[in-house]
Structure 1
Amino acid sequence: METLLLNRADVLENAQMPDVIRAVEEAFAAYENGDAQMPAKSYIDLPQYNGDFRSMPAYLDAGEWDAAGVKWVNVHTDNVEVHNLPTVMGTIIYSDPTNAFPLSVMDGTTVTRLRTGAAAAVATDYLAVDDATTMGIVGAGVQSYTQLEAISEVRPIDTVVVSDLSEERVAAFIDRFEDEFDVQPGSIEEAAACDVLSTVTPVEEPIVKREWVGDHTHINAMGADAKGKHELDDQILLDSTLVIDDHDQTTHSGEINVPYSQGVLTDADIHGAIGEIVIGAKDGRTEETGITVFDSTGLAIQDIATAHVVYEHAKENDNGYPFELVDTEV
């Protein structure tokens, strides 16, 4: 038996966004139904290198398929400037749950971008108004691209307002999407007034004010992934139908971590988990719903669900580089 090595190009070729969105939705359902195992994300903090490592294992049984694996990922904020490397890099080991054989080693950085966009798309599908045509994006880094790519699969987005401190990042984003959408540079205030808003920044002080947000805007709060990060005005969270991905992770390192730790926000202010909405245990958007917020920290089940899609299509398409990682002679 051979292990399949899949690089960035292989992952992109074999992970069509509609398939990834469907797999991530199935992962949310499996997790909520108790058909998944996802030990807590573990951290190795390296302040001397201005970074950290994170280990994210998971197993899920989605009914027609099951999958297991682990993502080893970092966040080193000096990488681009000092080392000419991405801030975030990941590697996924995708294994056969029946016998533990490592079926694939694949680029986890691209998987992370894809599943993050897909998670926002699942939340948008359940929480945004049906006729959402405008989308605001705050933060035009690498994660912003899959936000638009995924969300436009579930809503008829035609106009996009992108806001970032870097004019170069805004220009690159517009250059990528101007043939598909009406993409405009704008302020955070203009982005927040759109039907759908995705915030993808690493800030620790809120940058989106309550008075800027539309009456029925759906917000994907994607940037907070560590303690102290906080993109949205507390009043937005208090006034919204607030949906999380995982209670432990969001209260520790998600968008709600700061107001939750301060007692400004409590469990009573949380409408439910996205998995509860997917399986029908909690309502998504109704006629009475106003602002909605999805607090996404990123779950290992999303990574493994996406890795499943990539691996299965790579086999079908004969992509990748098979190699002998395990000596199968026993």
Structure 2
Amino acid sequence: MLLLNEKHMQQAASMADIMEAVKTAYEIYDKEQFQMDARTHLSHNENTLLLMPCYANQSFGTKIVSVFPHNRSSPVTQGMMILTDGNNGTTKALLNGTYLTGLRTGALGGLAARYLAPDDARSIGLIGTGVQGFYQLAAICLEYPIQDIYLFNRTPEKAIAFSEKIKSHISPHVNIHIKHQPHEIISRADVIVTATTAHTPVLPNDPDLYNGKLVIGVGSFQSNMRELPEELFKKADHLFIDTLDAIQESGDVIDPLKSRWLTESQVIPFSSVVTGKVTPPLSTEKPIIFKSTGMALFDVIAASVIYEKAVEQGIGLKVEL
């Protein structure tokens, strides 16, 4: 078995590699060439343990993730990924699931920007300066020549620390601005990312703020969580989702459908965009929304790519169980 920690994974595969892996996963999803149960949620108070199994491309993948939203000295999201050979049941690798989750979720946002953002996008606004937000910016900056990044966090000190960390992972020509109110970000950004564990919307409920912008929501993964406001859904023509499971899992999909801010026909799996079956109507008069909850298929394909590249390069620690 190969042990791959964060450093090993960074050496083996780049964000660009993972974006292509996620693109492959979308193609597999569209063709239904996988087996995947809905992820298991086990919650105690506000803390959650997730179990995410999947079979695809001759590998089983099982990710175990904990989400502790009040963590301060430890990451909010942590986990491990077990990669199993689909032919003989041998455990091929144990990967750092915390890093894998951030990496592949960032890749989801990067791909959303590739297909849905306006061609002249030059600025990003980020609400929530945690691990997920970091990888979102890293991926989107690969897709567009971003000139300005606007940050908001409820704790300003975290935004300051975040800005210093992200500088070493993006172009030195990008200007980073820390703002004190979300609306200051919305008015300036072409692409808006929400990466929080909020239970109530973190964006202003003003439909005119979002015209022509792409809004990427990656934080809400449970039915009682919501990051996006009512008027945004009412103004949008479509809501693109990374997996149909989001219809049962995320408050950012459940609430708009239940309240009839959107109809079911307006909710479109993003795999249809990746495979060319749907061409998103980009407009300066309407916002575009992409909602990600993640799924185990992304993890198993991304983990397989990292594992294969690590083997090729002789990276990782081999152990016997």
Q: Which runs of 5+ in 2 are unaligned?
A: none
Q: 1:211: Cα distance to partner?
A: 3.8
Secondary structure at 1:53 match in 2: strand
Residue 200 (structure 2) aligns with: 205
2:192 corresponds to 1:188: no
Q: Deviations over 1:31-71 (max 9, x none)?
A: 01111222101112223xx412111011224xxxx533110
Q: Tell me if the contact between 2:196 and 2:219 (Cα under 8 Å) persists in the aligned partners.
A: yes
Residue 279 (structure 2) aligns with: 283
Amino acid at match of 2:27: A
2:227 corresponds to 1:227: no
2:42 corresponds to 1:44: yes
Q: Tell me if the contact between 1:238 and 1:269 (Cα under 8 Å) persists in the aligned partners.
A: no
User: TM-score normalized by structure 2?
Assistant: 0.92
> In 2, Cα distance between the equivalents of 1:203 and 1:224?
7
Residue 245 (structure 1) aligns with: 242
Amino acid at match of 2:256: P
Q: Provide closer, same or farther for how the CA distance between residues 229 and 115 of structure 1 changes in structure 2, counting only shifts above 3 A.
A: same
Q: 1:212: Cα distance to partner?
A: 5.8
Residue number among 255, 258, 278 corresponding to 1:258 in the alignment:
255
Q: How does 1:165-176 map to 2 (within 5 A)?
A: 165-176=154-165
Residue number among 70, 76, 100 corresponding to 1:87 in the alignment:
76
Q: Tell me if the contact between 1:129 and 1:285 (Cα under 8 Å) persists in the aligned partners.
A: no
2:304 corresponds to 1:312: no
Secondary structure at 1:226 match in 2: coil
Residue 32 (structure 2) aligns with: 34
Q: Which runs of 5+ in 1 are unaligned?
A: 326-330
Stretch of structure 1 that moved more, 66-75 or 158-167: 66-75
Residue 140 (structure 2) aligns with: 151
Q: Tell me if the contact between 1:177 and 1:183 (Cα under 8 Å) persists in the aligned partners.
A: no
Q: Provide closer, same or farther for how the CA distance between residues 79 and 205 of structure 1 changes in structure 2, counting only shifts above 3 A.
A: closer
Q: 1:122: Cα distance to partner?
A: 0.9
For the aligned residues, what is the CA RMSD?
1.8
> In 2, Cα distance between the equivalents of 1:103 and 1:30?
22
Q: Deviations over 1:124-171 (max 9, x none)?
A: 111111121111001111111101100111111121001111111111
Q: Tell me if the contact between 2:212 and 2:282 (Cα under 8 Å) persists in the aligned partners.
A: no
User: TM-score normalized by structure 1?
Assistant: 0.89
Residue 107 (structure 1) aligns with: 96
Stretch of structure 1 that moved more, 176-185 or 98-107: 176-185
Q: Deviations over 1:180-212 (max 9, x none)?
A: 520001231122231111101111221212346
Q: Tell me if the contact between 2:27 and 2:274 (Cα under 8 Å) persists in the aligned partners.
A: yes
Q: Provide closer, same or farther for how the CA distance between residues 251 and 288 of structure 1 changes in structure 2, counting only shifts above 3 A.
A: farther
> In 2, Cα distance between the equivalents of 1:85 and 1:189?
30
Residue 119 (structure 2) aligns with: 130
Residue 12 (structure 2) aligns with: 14
Amino acid at match of 1:156: P
2:62 corresponds to 1:70: yes
Amino acid at match of 2:318: P
